[in-house]
């Protein structure tokens, strides 16, 4: 049986439908990533899961307990790290740890053991006496994670923990998550970064409050339909506009070139003439394997 | 219980790390004590009264001397222009002018009726009433002394003895009431600020996912402020004793008991405010206006409630300060015991219970 089950979740803020018929399941000991752009509804799902937002409909079960009625029994096994830094800025690193430990009843020698362990984890030991407000973004996130881990939660819920964090800290942060997974912790993490999905066990694409697709990092790119080419060129807006005039073809600027999507059932050889008119020689197109981002963009733009 | 201790201890850290709030909590009571104790002084002393003496006799000079010998009146710095005595009032060089027309000395010697003129600045009505009262007493005194010893007329006077504040000092009247105002303001202000601060940092939400009950969070957070409020109360009372010599006639323990009930009511007001607003700044403004105005105006702190229009009298019944002002004045100045204060005490308890219940319920609700 799955450790976390969300089924048929609905939530509206006034006329805005933040989450529409949202369901997901997470098995024990898995990392599940919610991926999507800002405003997709990731935070609303997470807040409903942590009992911070009352859903309009649907049900949530965590560790066999109904979140709506038995949330107090879920609290001791839940670790939650919100999107915005939510610790006490005027308290030091040590005091923040001490406080959350106290709230969860981790005291005495047990606290010392645990805090030493978390310091090793986070490399925050040299900053123990520094006030939280004076930490860098990455250190703040590690401190927040440490506080959320103080009581050895079975389920860790992280809302965009790596947003606005430098690439090195991001990688370190994920090392920690993978280590936690090895220890048997179940993790739900939301992120706007596609590359982080590769490290999760399963991922759900979220857009406009709904789940577009779900699967393992290997399964998801296979959902891509049609062909993908990389066009090495000067990616000007004019060129993109000219290419997008062509039927069955979508062009999207991508780094120093373009990604060209060609619809299923068509091939770039069928489009030689229109491509030439846009100023592109067929030899310039290189067939590549679609990655998660290509897949997500195609799903997002599909008529719903 | 252990969780409550952790929350309270953390709250103490916040207080110590935030010198501005701490300064407000300590400096405001002291400042207000000085203001109400010294600056706002309704005592009658050294009122400048000019004497315009057209009579220029021994008697007219004796009367003027008598006037200035009292502590109530003093001479103007500049002499008054005889042609236009009123100019001194217009320029606020004097609060009143006594005009002694020619013939005063003769009238005193001949024991005839005589009428003295008095111009009084009525723009300050407390002062003008006092001037009229004190000056007529001095004049009556003077004329009685002019009576020959062998001539006695029946003279009946009221010998008034003022109890509880024998010198009718306004500091005795203000400072105990001030404790009520300060406790209400500080408690409501600091509580609403500390709770909205946790809303702003998002830590309140973080705590809601932890296995800790809302009432434990609330009690832990406000416990340090109860101590701080009591410290403020003691601070003002010590100042009252040292600076103004205000006696403490009643039981300290009884006052402490009522003080705790009153502070709880004030903290509940702070919790209520924090449940309605989102930022510390709005909380600060809301707390100050919603406690300061009713507590000063509708508590009997300055203005007697029985002289107010009916609707305001009704409103005063739900102002906690109204009961505490009566209680603290009763205990400090009159030495009143529980038997006398029981009605006010029960009203205060009832008001606190209602406020606390509503506040606790408001705090419990989840956001959106």
Neighbouring C-beta atoms of residue B357, cutoff 10 Å: 11
Judge: B367–A84 Cβ closer than 8 Å, yes or no: no
pLDDT at B89: 85
Task: Spell out the CATH class of A224-301.
Answer: alpha beta
Comparing C-alpha atoms, which of B101, B176, B132, B121 is closest to residue B334? B176
Tens-digit pLDDT profile for residues A84-117: 888 999 999 999 999 999 999 998 899 999 999 9
Preferred mutation among A71, A96, A102 to probe B, highest tally of B CBs within 10 A: A102
- Among the partner residues B13, B18, B210, nearest to A75 by beta-carbon distance: B210
* pLDDT > 70? residue A146: yes
Cα–Cα distance for residue pair B216/B68, rounded to 1 Å: 66
How close, in Å, is residue B348 to chain A by CA atoms?
34
Q: Read off the pLDDT of residues B331-363 as tens digits, 9 standing for 90 and up.
A: 998 888 888 899 999 999 999 999 988 888 888
- Interface contacts (A, B; CB < 8 Å): 70
Positions in chain B whose pLDDT score sits under 70: 39-43, 149-157, 167-168, 364-368
Instruction: Tell me which chain B residues have a C-beta less than 8 angstroms from the C-beta of A95.
Output: 10, 13
Q: Shortest CA distance to A78 belongs to which of A151, A175, A145, A160? A: A151
Nearest to A234 by CA among A170, A294, A279: A279
**Which of A97, A100, A103 minimizes the C-alpha distance to A143?**
A97
Residue A157 pLDDT exceeds 80:
yes
pLDDT of A288 higher than 50: yes
Q: Which domains does chain B have, with CATH numbers?
A: 2-40+169-364 (no CATH), 47-145 (3.40.1710.10)
The share of chain A scoring above pLDDT 70, in percent, equals 99
Residue B19 sits at the chain A interface (C-beta within 8 Å): no
Model confidence over B104-126: pLDDT tens digits?
999 888 888 889 999 998 888 77
The CATH architecture of the domain made up of A4-220 is 3-Layer(aba) Sandwich (3.40)
**Residue B216, both tokens:** 């434990």
Q: If you measure CA to CA, which chain A residue comes closest to B199?
A: A86
B364 shares contact with chain A (CB less than 8 Å): no
CA separation for the pair A199, A174 (Å, rounded): 8
Facing B201 at nearest CB: one of A54, A89, A104: A89
pLDDT at B367 (0 to 100): 45
Nearest CB to A52; choose among B2, B209, B212: B209
Contact A104 B211 (CB under 8 A): yes
Question: In chain A, what are the domain boundaries?
Answer: 4-220, 224-301
Check whether A49 has a pLDDT greater than 60. Answer: yes
pLDDT at A147: 94
How many CB atoms neighbour CB B91 within 10 A?
9
Does this chain's domain A4-220 share its CATH topology with A224-301? no
Lowest mean pLDDT among A102-106, A179-183, A285-289, B116-120: A285-289
pLDDT of the residue at A304 = 55
Cα separation of B270 and B222, whole Å? 10
Interface test with A, best of B204, B206, B221 (most A CBs within 10 A): B206
User: Quick one: what percent of chain A has pLDDT higher than 90?
Assistant: 53
Give A211-247 pLDDT, tens digit per residue. 988 999 888 888 888 888 888 888 788 888 888 888 8
pLDDT at site A153: 94
Which residue bears the tokens 């609290």? A75
Task: Map tokens 């733009």 to a residue.
Answer: A301
Sign, Cα dihedral of A44, A47, A53, A54: positive
Which ipTM did the prediction report?
A: 0.81
Is a pLDDT exceeding 50 seen at residue A58? yes
């Amino acid at each position: 049986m799955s450790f976390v089950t969300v089924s048929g979740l609905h939530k509206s803020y006034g006329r805005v439908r933040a989450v529409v018929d949202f369901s997901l399941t997470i098995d024990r000991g898995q990392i599940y990533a919610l991926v999507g752009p800002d405003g997709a509804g990731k935070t609303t799902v997470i807040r409903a899961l942590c009992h911070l937002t009352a859903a309009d409909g649907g049900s949530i079960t965590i560790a066999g307990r109904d979140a709506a009625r038995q949330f107090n029994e879920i609290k001791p096994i839940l670790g939650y790290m919100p999107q915005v830094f939510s610790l006490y800025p005027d308290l030091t690193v040590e005091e923040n740890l001490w406080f959350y430990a106290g709230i969860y009843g981790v005291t005495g020698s047990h606290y010392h053991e645990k805090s030493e362990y978390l310091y090793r984890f986070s490399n925050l030991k040299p900053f123990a006496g520094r006030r939280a407000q004076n930490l860098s973004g990455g250190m703040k996130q590690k401190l927040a994670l440490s506080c959320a881990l103080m009581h050895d939660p079975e389920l860790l819920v992280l809302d965009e923990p790596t947003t606005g964090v430098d690439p090195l800290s991001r990688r370190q942060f994920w090392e920690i998550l993978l280590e936690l997974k090895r220890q048997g912790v179940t993790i739900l993490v939301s992120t706007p970064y596609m590359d982080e999905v590769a490290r999760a066990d399963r991922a759900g694409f979220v857009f406009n409050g709904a789940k577009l697709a779900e699967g393992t990092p290997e399964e998801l790119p296979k959902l891509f339909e049609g062909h993908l080419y990389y066009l090495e060129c000067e990616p000007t807006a004019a060129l993109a506009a000219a290419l997008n005039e062509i039927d069955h073809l979508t062009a999207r600027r991508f780094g120093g070139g373009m990604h060209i999507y060609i619809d299923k059932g068509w091939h770039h050889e069928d489009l030689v003439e229109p491509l030439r008119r846009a100023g592109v020689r067929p030899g310039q197109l290189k067939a590549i394997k679609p990655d998660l981002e290509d897949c997500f963009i195609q799903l997002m733009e599909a008529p719903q | 219980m252990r969780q409550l201790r952790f929350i309270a201890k953390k709250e103490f850290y916040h207080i110590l790390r935030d010198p501005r709030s701490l300064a407000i909590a300590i400096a405001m009571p002291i400042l207000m004590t000085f203001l109400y104790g010294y600056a706002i002084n309704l005592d009658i002393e050294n009122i400048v009264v000019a004497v315009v003496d057209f009579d220029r006799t021994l008697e007219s000079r004796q009367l003027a001397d008598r006037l200035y010998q009292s502590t109530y009146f003093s001479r103007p710095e500049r002499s008054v222009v005889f042609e236009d005595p009123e100019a001194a009032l217009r320029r606020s060089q004097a609060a009143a002018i006594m005009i002694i027309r020619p013939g005063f000395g003769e009238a005193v010697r001949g024991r005839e009726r005589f009428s003295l003129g008095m111009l009084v600045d009525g723009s300050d009505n407390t002062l003008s009433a006092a001037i009229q009262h004190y000056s007529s007493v001095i004049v009556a005194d003077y004329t009685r002394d002019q009576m020959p010893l062998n001539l006695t007329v029946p003279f009946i006077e009221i010998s008034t003895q003022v109890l509880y504040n024998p010198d009718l000092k306004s500091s005795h009247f203000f400072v105990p009431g001030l404790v009520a105002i300060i406790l209400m303001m500080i408690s409501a202000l600091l509580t609403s600020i500390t709770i909205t601060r946790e809303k702003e940092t998002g830590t309140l939400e973080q705590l809601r996912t932890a296995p800790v009950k809302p009432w434990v969070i609330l009690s832990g957070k406000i416990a340090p402020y109860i101590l701080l409020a009591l410290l403020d109360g003691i601070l003002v009372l010590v100042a009252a004793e040292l600076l103004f010599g205000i006696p403490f006639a009643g039981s300290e323990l009884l006052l402490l008991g009522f003080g705790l009930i009153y502070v709880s009511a004030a903290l509940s007001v702070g919790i209520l405010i924090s449940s309605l607003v989102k930022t510390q700044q709005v909380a600060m403004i809301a707390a100050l206006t919603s406690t300061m105005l009713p507590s000063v105006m509708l508590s009997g702190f300055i203005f007697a409630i029985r002289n107010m229009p009916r609707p305001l009298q009704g409103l005063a019944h739900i102002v906690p300060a109204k009961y505490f002002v009566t209680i603290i004045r009763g205990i400090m100045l009159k030495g009143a015991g529980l038997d006398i204060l029981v009605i006010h005490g029960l009203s205060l308890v009832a008001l606190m219970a209602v406020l606390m219940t509503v506040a606790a319920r408001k705090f419990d609700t989840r956001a959106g």
